Amino acid sequence: MYAVTNPATGELIEEVPNATAEEVQAAIERVHGGYRAWRRRSVAERAAIVKRAAVLFAERADELAAIMTLEMGKRINEGRGEVGIVVDIFNYYADNGPALLADEPVAIKGGQAVITKGPIGPLLGIMPWNFPCYQVARFVAPNLVLGNTILLKHASICPRSAAAIESVLRDAGVPDDVYVNTFASSRQIPAILADPRIQGVSLTGSEQAGISVAAEAGKNLKKTVLELGGSDPLIVLDTDDMDETVKATATARMRNCGQSCNAPKRMIVLADLYDEFVDKLTKRVADFYLPGDPADPATKLPPLASIAAADEVAEQVERAVRQGATLRTGGQRIEPGAYLEATVLTDVTPEMDAYYEEIFGPVVIVFKAETDEEAIAIANDSPFGLGASVFGTDPIRNRQVADQIESGMVYMNSAGGSQADLPFGGIKRSGMGRELGPAGIEEFMNKKSIRL
């Protein structure tokens, strides 16, 4: 069952029945039938529709933000910001799609050739709840311009976001059989992936969800893009303004109540800065990130997306302390609703679960490193490899450290975040493939070689 439950209060607002097997099959048939006509439209026509979608997303920013606040507790201003990057993504692919899809001449021995860039067919998108609009946009916008059709399964707590996104795309001119929202259950995913009409799948979600979907996709020879968990390191080498560094790192970690895959979850601080950094970070987290109504723009710390999520993070913190970590501040559940005090942990060692697992909530873990080499070793001692950050005053030193970090992305003197023209994705157990930027339109592309 899909359901809207207000995480600030725990109140059940609405339930939406799962799609039946017959409804899922009908949805697959729709995107399969729509593919032939959609791929035959010119790139310019498809891009114009995507451009119109950008305009409508901007016009409906307040409506979409309010839905996200109700469904998963996102702060209202963060919801508006999320719609802003959605607009950027749709504009980027509308404006750059024709150039990105242009034929590519190739000089070959004994003749000439060209690589054409076209779609592969209907795709399945499985989307998460933490960024209900942004995650959809980075999958949908490039593939609509490319000419693929899309069957979209959103998270079970976001049925209103799913319906609102489909409404925007429909009003922008995306045909009924080109983008189809389905309220399919997770148990129906294997049957969808086994269907020969579906040519690929993109999933953003947990590590376990990625393992399950990748196994089914591999069994059926379907192209896969996975954006999974992360436990991103943030290395502080030195600073000429500790207050600003603490503010920047805390802001990045607490964004979206800590529920961002590429948020900096592990702060690794050089020893000569460690005590000052921890003291100032603890004070800022304790005094600034106070719980409140996510619909109130003044709120700094909203609820987590669900009571179950809040309970899970609280249990992870409790277990870390039980295993020997030091709780500097926070860690307590606040009821009613899905609130958890913003938390700082130190003295976490490899023997503790918290050292390796992802904590998906408002929790910062701080490590001390004696040297750059030790900081890099701690950063890389993780099963994940999504993003990373390096803070320091020397660009050469920053780059030397960044080059040794095992991740798909590294940010200098900033943390996390995303932008339309920069590829996004990770390595190791953080997934495979890339979204956004030029790379984002290539994952489900048929690069056909034609020898002239």
Three-state SS string across the chain, please? Answer: CEEEEECCCCEEEEEECCCCHHHHHHHHHHHHHHHHHHHHCCHHHHHHHHHHHHHHHHHCHHHHHHHHHHHHCCCHHHHHHHHHHHHHHHHHHHHHHHHHCCCEEEEECCEEEEEEEEECCCEEEECCCCCCCHHHHHHHHHHHHHCCCEEEECCCCCHHHHHHHHHHHHHHCCCCCCEEEECCCHHHHHHHHHCCCCCEEEEECCHHHHHHHHHHHHHCCCEEEEECCCCEEEEECCCCCHHHHHHHHHHHHHHHHHCCCCCEEEEEEEHHHHHHHHHHHHHHHHHHCCECCCCCCCCCECCCCCHHHHHHHHHHHHHHHHCCCEEEECCCEECCCCEECCEEEECCCCCCHHHHCCCCCCEEEEEEECCHHHHHHHHHCCCEECCCEEECCCHHHHHHHHHCCCCCCCEECCCCCCCCCCCECCEECCEECCECHHHHCCCCEEEEEEEC
For residues 224 and 238, membership in a common domain is answered with: no
Q: Is residue 418 assigned to a domain?
A: no
For residues 214 and 238, membership in a common domain is answered with: no
Identify the CATH number of the domain in which residue 276 sits.
3.40.309.10
Q: Is residue 421 assigned to a domain?
A: no
For residues 236 and 220, membership in a common domain is answered with: no
Q: Is residue 417 assigned to a domain?
A: no
By the 8 A CB rule, do 267 and 281 touch? yes
For residues 76 and 175, membership in a common domain is answered with: yes
- Tracing tokens 């980027």 back to the chain, one arrives at 92
For residues 88 and 154, membership in a common domain is answered with: yes
By the 8 A CB rule, do 117 and 447 touch? yes
Residue 245, C-beta contacts closer than 8 angstroms, at least 6 positions apart: 236, 239, 277, 391
Q: What is the pLDDT of residue 382?
A: 98
Q: Is residue 393 assigned to a domain?
A: yes
Rounded to whole angstroms, how far apart are CA atoms 136 and 373?
38
Residue 118 pairs in a beta bridge with 446
Structure tokens at 399: 């780059």
Question: How many other C-beta atoms lie within 10 A of the C-beta of residue 26?
Answer: 13
Q: At what angle do helices 159-172 and 43-59 cross, to 10 degrees?
A: 130
For residues 341 and 440, membership in a common domain is answered with: no
Side-chain-side CA neighbours of 314 within 13 Å: the count stands at 16
For residues 292 and 323, membership in a common domain is answered with: yes
Side-chain-side CA neighbours of 61 within 13 Å: the count stands at 17
Q: Is residue 398 assigned to a domain?
A: yes
Strands in 123-126's sheet, in edge-to-edge order, are 179-182, 150-153, 123-126, 200-204, 223-227, 431-432
Rounded to whole angstroms, how far apart are CA atoms 412 and 376?
15
By the 8 A CB rule, do 419 and 431 touch? no
Domain span holding position 334? 232-412
Q: What is the pLDDT of residue 341?
A: 98
For residues 254 and 220, membership in a common domain is answered with: no
137 phi and psi, to 5 degrees?
A: -60, -45
Which positions are catalytic? Answer: 227, 261
Structure tokens at 208: 């376990």
Q: What is the pLDDT of residue 225?
A: 98
For residues 267 and 200, membership in a common domain is answered with: no
Q: Which of 158, 132, 257, 259 is nearest to 206 (CA)?
A: 259
Residue 113 pairs in a beta bridge with 106, 451
108 phi and psi, to 5 degrees?
A: -125, 160
At 110, which amino acid appears? G
Give the chain's domain count.
Answer: 2
Taking the chain (452 residues) in runs of 10, the rounded mean pLDDT of each run is 96 97 98 98 98 98 98 98 98 98 96 97 98 98 98 98 98 98 97 98 96 97 96 98 97 97 97 98 97 97 97 98 98 96 98 97 98 98 98 98 98 92 97 98 98 94
By the 8 A CB rule, do 147 and 120 touch? no
Q: Is residue 268 assigned to a domain?
A: yes
pTM, two decimal places: 0.97
Question: How many other C-beta atoms lie within 10 A of the C-beta of residue 336?
Answer: 11
For residues 95 and 136, membership in a common domain is answered with: yes
Question: How many other C-beta atoms lie within 10 A of the C-beta of residue 244?
Answer: 12
Q: Is residue 73 assigned to a domain?
A: yes
Structure tokens at 210: 């990625």
For residues 189 and 204, membership in a common domain is answered with: yes
Q: What is the pLDDT of residue 105?
A: 96
Q: Is residue 256 assigned to a domain?
A: yes
For residues 30 and 147, membership in a common domain is answered with: yes
Identify the CATH number of the domain in which residue 67 sits.
3.40.605.10
By the 8 A CB rule, do 391 and 237 touch? yes
